[in-house]
Amino acid sequence: MNRKLWLALPLIVFALFVLAVGWRLSSPPDPTVKSRMIGKPVPEFALPAALPAKPALASADLRRQGPRLVNLFASWCVPCIAEAPVLLDLKNRGVAIDGIAIRDTPTDIQRFLADHGDPFQRMGDDKASQVQMAFGSAGVPESFVVDASGVIRFQHVGPIMPQDVPTILAELEKAR
């Protein structure tokens, strides 16, 4: 290599460093983990019922009467409490919502629903987070829009807040 290029090499490396770091400073990192399952059929699963009074949830149920919103929640999850009234609002607007309780117990779920309302049609009990991981979810709460043919169309990470409702409704409309 010629000498000129050698002399400029550190400068070039430094310029690359500045570009990468400048990019990071201008676009702070997005801490959410996006699921790789978006656009793919829901994973096969058949969860037991979380509550005796509520029907259980299996992948076959999601393939039938879509589009549906699948909400991953837990009674021990504080942001889930913040999300609860918004889910009730969505239910009142005619959205079909199914729940998956993550690492929870029937008594705790019962109390949680009594305190914060029950928007769910069906509910599966995911004691070991296996279905959660199959969905590509990294935490609670998370919600997935599943279309009429059973394909995951949209993932919402974190609690659904009132300002998120239009997006969720639009995604459900698209999935029809």
Q: Indicate the residue among 29 and 162 with the shorter CB distance to another protein.
A: 29
Among residues 155, 104, 156, 98, the alpha carbon closest in space to that of 126 is found at 104
Q: How many residues bind another protein (CB under 8 A)?
A: 20
The minimum distance between CB 129 and another protein, in angstroms, equals 19
Rounded least distance, CB 27 to another protein, Å = 9
Cβ-based nearer residue to another protein, 49 or 138: 138
Order the strands of the 152-157 sheet from edge to edge: 123-126, 97-102, 68-73, 142-146, 152-157
Site for another protein in 9-28 (CB under 8 A): 10-11, 13-26, 28
Q: Which of 2, 29, 52, 128 binds another protein (CB under 8 A)?
A: 29
Q: 20 vs 161, which CB is nearer to another protein?
A: 20
Rounded Cα–Cα distance for residues 15 and 39 (Å): 38
- Tokens 């919502």 correspond to 97
β-pair type (57-58, 46-47): antiparallel
Of 16 and 78, CB closest to another protein: 16
We find the least distance from the C-beta atom of residue 34 to another protein, in angstroms, to be 9
Query: Applying CB under 8 A, does 128 fall inside the site for another protein?
Result: no
Pairing outcome for strands 68-73 and 152-157: unpaired
Residue-by-residue DSSP string for 39-92? TSBPPP-EEPBSSTTS--EEHHHHHHS-SEEEEEE-TT-HHHHHHHHHHHHHHH
Is residue 78 at the binding interface for another protein, with CB under 8 A as the rule? no
Determine, following the binding rule CB under 8 A, whether residue 1 of this chain makes contact with another protein: no
Q: Within 30-69, which residues bind another protein (CB under 8 A)?
A: none
- Rounded Cα distance between 67 and 156, Å, is 15
What's the min distance (Å) between Cβ of 133 and another protein?
18
Question: What are the residues binding another protein (CB under 8 A)?
Answer: 7-8, 10-11, 13-26, 28-29
